[in-house]
Amino acid sequence: MGALGGIFMESVRVDDLVKKIVEKVTKELAQEAKGRTSVGEIVGAAVEAQRAWQWDYNLDARTKILSAIKSKLLPHAEELAKLARDDTDMGRLDDKILKKKLAITKTPGPEYFTTKAISGDNGLILEELAPFGVIASITPSTNPVATVINNTICMLSGGNGVVFSPHPGALRCTLRTVELIRGILAEEGAPVEVVSVLSDASLDSLKELMSHPDIKLISATGGPGVVRAALSSGKPAIGAGPGNPPVLVDETAHLEKAAKDVIAGASFDNNLPCIAEKELIAVNCIADDLKELMCHNGAYELKDRSKIADLVELVLTKDHKIKKDMVGKNASVYLEKLGITPPPNVRLILVECDEKHPFVQEELMMPILAMVRVADFREGLAMAKRVEHGFKHSAIIHSTNIDNMSDMAKTMETSMFVKNAPSFASIGVGGDCPTAFTIGTTTGHGPTTPLSFCRIRRCLLHGAFRIV
Ligand code: NAD
């Protein structure tokens, strides 16, 4: 064998050796991390890892590692979607796979950062975005896996670390997602514990996490309870709270497209997403046509008053709160329970009612869409504003009247406002929006990006560096 062959053989052996060492270290790190169970230990390890991540990994290194997370997680989208479906018994598998893929491929990364520079007579001012440190991220049962992926990419981009608090109803899928991410971090030689997770999902552990002195920012994605808890912690917080998004269809809308879009948005993952159309407000002169088109495209209209009363009893408690075990089922499940044979491919149940009805007022998170008629756009807009309850979350319009679209955009003051598309266009499905699964409604952060999890720091040089 010639000299070159010898070198080749040597390099193969070295590669094998390096691979074996990496595997061994990865296993040891995982073992060590599994041993940590107390909140204090988990946060302590996350703090150390975050310091290394902030100081030893520049933007280029972070970008490479986050790209590896993205590409290596992608083949697990289906596995994670199935696990989330099984864990929570909510939602639709195909939509869950899409959500994971969306979080992996369309969450913005370090490329999102720009430095602001202001030069004046007295020199140069720089404003840069710096990490907070270790963030506590509280995740919802309705979207456990995609929130972890989306938050991980955004938070790590800015040099932060994160400790996730899983929802009790989504423990297995949350732990598995974090395990996969940590495995990739280890393979890439990055500090594994920069992404950590509480080993249990108790409220006590969550409270201990939020009040831990080394937690520097709280990101709370969920209902009003968790947002209140985060905001009363005395720490900086992102409150991504509930919504009740209205969709308004006026007489100028392209009706067939509007019908299809409303069904697609309201039935996506069985209406679990906080951005999804939760009640339909239709201008009277097109309401019947719209309903007919919807019924030709996957909706089933429940007309019988006694069956509507049965449905209310099936999914709501006596005081009209949602029954948790009825959230996010397929439309066919509710129909079967009412003794109705579901039409093939039904995705959504349509119920015409008035504004006071709990199906309009409550955030159902079920593929049951209440429809209310209004005389005209003005009446519809006033109603949309009332039923959104001031959450400032999301709203949707189907119209070709520019004035109506502008009026609604201004009046609703929502974090997300979609014109002539399903609600999910606002998180990047079939459009250009970057993906966000934590929408800072209560605290005004809006759809979160890597910038949302950073502090602004100013640095100036007096008397120099202006070049004109
Ligand atoms: P949830 O409020 O029941 O649970 C969310 C998380 O908060 C869980 O991890 C839970 O353990 C914790 N939690 C609940 N009550 C708490 C309390 N009193 N103190 C401290 N922690 C508490 O929410 P869910 O049912 O899992 O998710 C659905 C809700 O989340 C809906 O209201 C939906 O609109 C909202 N959501 C909002 C966004 C957003 O970006 N704005 C995204 C997804 C879901």
User: What mean pLDDT is predicted for residues 443-448?
Assistant: 98
- Looking at residue 37, what is its pLDDT? 81
Would you call 29 exposed, middle or buried from its count of C-beta atoms within 10 A (0-12, 13-18, 19+)? middle
Per-residue pLDDT of 220-274, as tens digits, reads 999 999 999 999 999 999 999 999 999 999 999 999 999 999 999 999 999 999 9
Q: Residue whose CA is closest, atom 2 of ligand 1? A: 223
> 206 in ligand 1 pocket by Cβ < 6 Å?
yes
Any bridge partners for residue 441, and if so which?
A: none
444 in a domain, yes or no? no
11 in a domain, yes or no? no
Per-residue pLDDT of 362-382, as tens digits, reads 999 999 999 999 999 999 999
Total domains, the chain: 2
Kindly give the distance from the C-alpha atom of residue 466 to the centroid of ligand 1, in angstroms, as a whole number. 49
Asked if residue 10 has pLDDT above 60, the reply is no
> 278 in ligand 1 pocket by Cβ < 6 Å?
no
Residue whose C-alpha is closest to residue 439's, from 174, 242, 225, 149: 242
131 plus 206 within the same structural domain: yes
- Supply angle C-alpha 67, 68, 71, rounded to 5: 85
151 plus 253 within the same structural domain: no
Contact by Cβ (8 Å): 132, 236 = yes
225 plus 316 within the same structural domain: no
236 plus 256 within the same structural domain: no
Strand (E) or helix (H) holding 247? strand 246-249
151 plus 188 within the same structural domain: yes
14 in a domain, yes or no? no
237 plus 259 within the same structural domain: no
Q: Give the domain CATH number at 332.
A: 3.40.309.10
> 142 in ligand 1 pocket by Cβ < 6 Å?
yes
Asked if residue 30 has pLDDT above 80, the reply is no
> 226 in ligand 1 pocket by Cβ < 6 Å?
yes
1 in a domain, yes or no? no
Q: Give the domain CATH number at 231.
A: 3.40.605.10
ipTM above 0.90, yes or no: yes
378 plus 305 within the same structural domain: yes
121 plus 223 within the same structural domain: yes
> 240 in ligand 1 pocket by Cβ < 6 Å?
yes
443 in a domain, yes or no? no
235 plus 317 within the same structural domain: no
230 plus 265 within the same structural domain: no
Best mutation site among 87, 88, 89, 138 for ligand 1 pocket (most ligand atoms within 8 Å of CB): 138
Kindly give the distance from the C-alpha atom of residue 226 to the centroid of ligand 1, in angstroms, as a whole number. 6
Q: Which domain holds residue 332?
A: 246-432
CA distances from 223 to 87, 117, 180, 264 (A): 19, 39, 27, 24
Q: Residue whose CA is closest, atom 13 of ligand 1? A: 226
170 plus 186 within the same structural domain: yes
343 plus 270 within the same structural domain: yes
> 423 in ligand 1 pocket by Cβ < 6 Å?
no
3 in a domain, yes or no? no
Confidence class for position 18, pLDDT limits 50, 70, 90: low
